[in-house]
Structure 1
Amino acid sequence: MLHYDLTGRVVAITGATGGLGSALARELSARGARLALLDLDEAAISRLAQGFGGEQQAKGWRVDVRSYEHLQAAMGAAAAHFGRIDVVIANAGIDEVSPMATMNPDAFERVIDINLSGVWRTLKAGLPHVARQRGYLMAISSMAAFVHSPLQAHYTASKAGVWAMCDSVRLEVKHLGVGVGSVHPTFFRTPLMEQIHADAAGVKLWGGNKGGLWRMISRDEVVDGVIRGIERRSDMVVLPAQNTLIAKAPGLFRKMAERLGFKSADIVEAIALAERELTLT
């Protein structure tokens, strides 16, 4: 089985000061990776970076994933500082529990902008650097990509979109030697989950995540799964593993359709044609 050694690799993480982001940073550092920590909270990102043994091991940049220019500048600065970027993890995300009937349209658009468009911006900004290393792009999605809860149209749409986007981008960058993976954990303890548990509607929907289908798993289990996914350059990481059938059922025939419908040479030529059209407009 492929083992993508993290020792000496440079990993850029958005949402780095969040519950999952900071836990991933600690485990990646323990495995010898160097860290480009990207987050909106400048003070928090500075404190986090200081805990990893100096700027050659970890450095933070303030980034708003709603701005491609922010991400592009930060990725460029990180690549200049460390000399490379091998892995990008698009981890920034938000949620709220709200039905369509009463949800403010601005709130819906904010979730989509951060959770979906923000992932696209992150992967796009990181791709030129990762392509030079024939590295790996990873997006943190959710089991919500496949199991669509009420009062969560904004969140489930964004996470399903991330899953679909990763599948499409994977085909586009395969010839560059770049891998693309999406991560689909069930509920686990984060500040985001604490907000949901403070919301009466969220508690009602998922029963406080105390058992059954909505049982929470540990954050360590998620971190271990993400790291394993990077080391294997996995297309999809499902956590816990027993949810794999649920996750893979919607895309049961996707691989077959890709093999039959999209030849690698045709994809490369189509990209070249699209780029040519862009230069002519």
Structure 2
Amino acid sequence: MTRSWELQGRSVVVTGAARGLGTGLARLLAGHGMRVALLGREQATLEAVAVTLDTESCVVEVDVTDEPGMRRAAAEVTRKLGAPSVVIANAGVAEGGPFESSDLDLWRRVVEVNLVGSAVTARAFLPGLLVTRGYFLQVASTAAFGAAPMMSAYCASKAGAEAFARSVRAELVHRGVGVGVAYLHWTDTDTNMVKDVDRHTVLRELRGHMPAPARRVYPVGQVASWLVRGVERRSASVYAPPWLRLAQAGRPFFPLAVDLLSRRTLPRLMRDHSFEQTGLLGEGGRIEERLIDRSTAERSNDRREAR
């Protein structure tokens, strides 16, 4: 669906809304007169964002991978703001490093948040979208275009999220629900993820070997505005920046290009640098790791008490 529609007076759900792009989207959509539901892992941070919005809003602290929790979140949002017309699956995490030495718990968590969390979000809010004949936007990445070395979990999760959204789009188009995929590149947010990229050898080298235009970092406000324009048009594909549309034509050649570049440069880079695991990136990633550690500790305590 590509027609424009009026956003004012409708409700929107944004996951991963505590900071970065999620916060930018919430503020822009509130400026369009939408009622905004902010979902994320940090109640206090979400509430701090909510008070800056000049619109009716609600905050729900929830893990997007928690299916019962997301069903309760959908019920609460619908009760407070009405059935959503727009749902943006923005929550995501990233990590990098050689696959063979990766922490499989963190690797699995990246896939769970970026892919499974998006599916859980869609399932929870689909009844409302069917009522409003609304629009679901899956935030993906240029990582869906072509898999990069040292980013196996992130690339797998974003490619999966793209395929998931395209599949669901085909199922829902005749029922009046639009589904779009947003392809993002380097985005400068307040989460320090880009700074983390430059701090870690594996990601700094990955970015440094990209063509100059592909190394550019875009401000979060600009990226959010491109996505909001896609929401207004109910676009099947949203590109941030717009020139990424041209990269779609080159997708069949990306795997070959990555293989050739890796074969030529990786041996030297691995000889000259120590490629260590990055852990989850950005402030959101650090909070996610603390929550994982807390959950692990709580499970350990429960097992000890059970004995």
The question of a shared fold, defined as TM-score above 0.5 by the shorter chain, is answered with yes
How far apart in 1 are the matches of 2:72 and 2:210?
A: 39
Aligned pairs (5 A) from 1:250-269: 250=251
Relative contact order, CA 8 A, sep 6+: which one is greater? 2
How far apart in 2 are the matches of 1:69 and 1:182?
A: 25
Find runs of 4+ consecutive structure 1 residues off by over 3 angstroms.
208-212, 248-251
Q: Offset of 1:75 from its aligned partner? A: 1.0
- Aligned partner of 1:153: which letter? S
Aligned residue number for residue 229 of structure 1: 230
Matching of residue 142 in structure 1 with residue 141 in structure 2: yes
Q: Offset of 1:217 from its aligned partner? A: 2.1
Aligned pairs (5 A) from 1:183-262: 183-190=182-189, 191=191, 192-207=193-208, 211-247=212-248, 250=251
Give the 3 Å change call, closer, same or farther, for CA 249–129 of structure 1 in structure 2. farther
Aligned pairs (5 A) from 1:1-281: 2-53=3-54, 57-190=56-189, 191=191, 192-207=193-208, 211-247=212-248, 250=251
- Aligned partner of 2:236: which letter? D
- Aligned partner of 2:108: which letter? E
3-state secondary structure, aligned to 2:149? coil
Question: 2:57–2:81: 8 Å Cα contact kept in structure 1?
Answer: no
- Aligned partner of 2:201: which letter? A
How far apart in 1 are the matches of 2:221 and 2:73?
A: 28
> CA offsets per residue over residues 122-144 of structure 1, 9 Å max, x none?
11111001110000001100011
Which consecutive unaligned segments of at least 5 residues does structure 1 have?
252-281
Aligned residue number for residue 284 of structure 2: none
TM-score (norm 1): 0.84
Q: How many equivalent pairs are there?
A: 249
How far apart in 2 are the matches of 1:62 and 1:208?
A: 39
3-state secondary structure, aligned to 2:6? coil
Question: 2:147–2:155: 8 Å Cα contact kept in structure 1?
Answer: yes
TM-score (norm 2): 0.77
Question: 1:202–1:208: 8 Å Cα contact kept in structure 2?
Answer: no
3-state secondary structure, aligned to 2:96? coil
- Aligned partner of 2:12: which letter? V
Q: Offset of 1:3 from its aligned partner? A: 1.1
Per mean C-alpha deviation after superposition, the further-off stretch among 3-12 and 242-251 is 242-251
How far apart in 2 are the matches of 1:7 and 1:249?
A: 38
- Aligned partner of 1:124: which letter? R
3-state secondary structure, aligned to 1:238? strand
Question: 2:67–2:124: 8 Å Cα contact kept in structure 1?
Answer: yes
- Aligned partner of 2:6: which letter? D
Q: Offset of 1:213 from its aligned partner? A: 2.5
**Aligned residues: percent identity?**
34
- Aligned partner of 1:139: which letter? Q
3-state secondary structure, aligned to 1:234? coil
Question: 2:96–2:152: 8 Å Cα contact kept in structure 1?
Answer: no
Question: 1:97–1:196: 8 Å Cα contact kept in structure 2?
Answer: no
Q: Offset of 1:101 from its aligned partner? A: 1.2
Q: Offset of 1:234 from its aligned partner? A: 0.5
CA RMSD of aligned residues (A): 1.8
Per mean C-alpha deviation after superposition, the further-off stretch among 44-53 and 170-179 is 44-53
How far apart in 1 are the matches of 2:105 and 2:219?
A: 33
How far apart in 2 are the matches of 1:139 and 1:249?
A: 22
How far apart in 2 are the matches of 1:250 and 1:165?
A: 18
Which consecutive unaligned segments of at least 5 residues does structure 2 have?
253-307
